[in-house]
Amino acid sequence: MPEWWTYTLSDIQSFSLHSYYRLFELYNAAIWPAQVIAVALGLGIGSGLHLPHRGSGLHKWRSRIIAALLAACWLWVAIVFHAHRYATLTCTARCFAWGFGLEAALLLWIGVIRGRLTFERRPAGLAIFLFALVVQPLIGPLLGRSWRQVEIFGVAPDPTAIATLGVLLLATGRVRWELMVLPLLWCAISGATLLSMNAPDAWIPLAATVPSLSVAVSKALARRRRPQTTILI
């Protein structure tokens, strides 16, 4: 039996790239026209993020709606994609389903019930969100995928996780690491899975973690360096 350090990513992968892409083709056919609704929800989230929030009496409700829509997308992917589709290829998909369900619960608790998420305009966050919503579905066909195999925000895991990272970078106040951990972890898992199959689009989820982490860390450091004001009585 070979030693564990001699294994590569391809040694632990239980399915082929063709099977993985075919999974999305069958999945997209089965859920149509949910993709249209998901894109419409994404455009609604983008419109809500673009509108001014501070100074508006509706900004709290707007933020709650954005968090609720994101939570719905994560819950959909958890149940419909991971638990019912991806699980036909790998048993670990059920663990992924629980992870996506947990992220949905966190978004509901922090963003909807407690209303702790408010957003402001930041170019980096909007760019990442728009990349996942508009650009990422177009990259697959350019790299050899069929249009029937594209991954769409709201119903596929990668663009949903990447878009969520973009949204969380727009949140005011401290960095919400408790909401960012699972999207970052999924991007790493997905990137490693695609790398194991030599997929041409493996760089997408991995590259998404770099600007997201750098912006989040710089935001956290800037907040820590900000001078604290004290009130003398």
pLDDT at residue 119, as a whole number: 85
Query: Do the domain assignments include residue 78?
Result: yes
* pLDDT above 70: residue 122: yes
Helix (H, G, I), strand (E, B) or coil at 119: strand
Query: Do the domain assignments include residue 231?
Result: no
Query: Do the domain assignments include residue 88?
Result: yes
| Count of alpha carbons within 13 angstroms of residue 149, beta-carbon side | 16
Average pLDDT over residues 193-217: 89
pLDDT at residue 49, as a whole number: 84
Query: Do the domain assignments include residue 55?
Result: yes
The residues near 15 (Cβ < 8 Å, ≥ 6 apart) are: 89, 90
Residue range 124-172, pLDDT digits in tens: 889 999 999 999 999 999 998 999 999 999 999 999 999 999 999 998 8
pLDDT band at 233 (very low <50, low <70, confident <90, very high): very low
List Cβ<8 Å contacts ≥24 apart for 59-65. 59/118, 60/115, 60/118, 63/111, 63/115, 63/117, 63/118, 63/119, 64/111, 64/112, 64/115, 64/117
Beta strand ranges found along the chain (DSSP E): none
The residues near 125 (Cβ < 8 Å, ≥ 6 apart) are: 49, 166, 167, 168, 169, 170, 215
Cα(147)–Cα(32) distance, rounded to whole angstroms? 13
Cα(76)–Cα(120) distance, rounded to whole angstroms? 27
Domain that holds residue 140: 14-225
Per the structure, the count of domains in the chain is 1
Query: Do the domain assignments include residue 4?
Result: no
Average pLDDT over residues 203-230: 78
Cα(178)–Cα(180) distance, rounded to whole angstroms? 6
Query: Do the domain assignments include residue 5?
Result: no
Q: Which amino acid is at 147?
A: W
Rounded to 5 degrees, what are φ and ψ at 178?
-65, -25
Query: Do the domain assignments include residue 41?
Result: yes
Query: Do the domain assignments include residue 3?
Result: no
Angstrom distances, CA of residue 58 to CA of 42, 61, 63: 20, 5, 9
pLDDT at residue 121, as a whole number: 76
pLDDT at residue 5, as a whole number: 42
